[in-house]
Structures are given as C-alpha cells and as structure tokens.
C-alpha cells in the first residue's frame, strides 16, 4: 500500500498495530473499562488491515486468509462489540438513575 516493498509495508503495519495497542492501553488506563479498550483495539486493528487489504503483501506472504477475515468477519465482530458497549452504557446509566 505505502511503497512497492512488501517488507516495508509489513513493517508499517506492525508499527501501526503497535500504536493501536498503545492507544488501547491508554484507553484502559484512563477509563478502567476492559471491554471499551478491547473494542478500541479491534476497531483500530480492523481499520489498519482494511486499508492494507488491497496490498499485494498478503499474497506474497501467503496470508490471504487475513484479507478474507478482515473484509467478511471482522466488521461484524466490531458491530457486536459496539452493540454490547451501547447496551452496557444504557444499562449502567439506568441503574445509576434508578438508585438516586
């Protein structure tokens, strides 16, 4: 995606995944919500792989299953995570309001 060298593409993907992990860890440290942190990592990771899905890196390294997973399954996993986060937020807001 970035350059014509597959090894440079792989290195950039790994660095972006490292930054996504760092952002997710920061979200966990400041919010103390594990599910929100996992959701952040999943969405950022999906964006990173989705942007690189057209790259020839996956064919060269024989990991074309990663493209299939990124395009066909991972978005649905993220939708389920977002739905669970919204349900937990609404449930916790209702419980706090009810106890007051």
Domain ranges (residues) in the chain = 6-99
pTM: 0.81
**Sequential pLDDT tens for the chain (100 residues):** 555 677 788 888 899 999 999 999 999 999 998 999 999 999 999 999 998 887 778 888 888 888 899 999 999 999 999 999 999 989 888 776 665 5
- What is the structure's pLDDT at 97? 65
CA distance 9 to 80: 30
């Amino acid at each position: 995606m970035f350059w014509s060298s597959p090894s440079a593409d792989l290195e950039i993907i790994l660095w972006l995944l490292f930054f996504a992990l760092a952002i997710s860890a920061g979200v966990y440290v400041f919010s103390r919500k594990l599910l929100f942190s996992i959701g952040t990592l999943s969405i950022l990771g999906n964006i990173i792989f989705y942007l690189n899905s057209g790259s020839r890196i996956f064919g060269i390294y024989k990991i074309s299953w990663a493209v299939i997973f990124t395009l066909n399954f991972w978005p649905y996993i993220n939708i389920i995570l977002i739905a669970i986060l919204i349900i937990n937020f609404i449930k916790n807001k209702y419980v706090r309001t009810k106890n007051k």
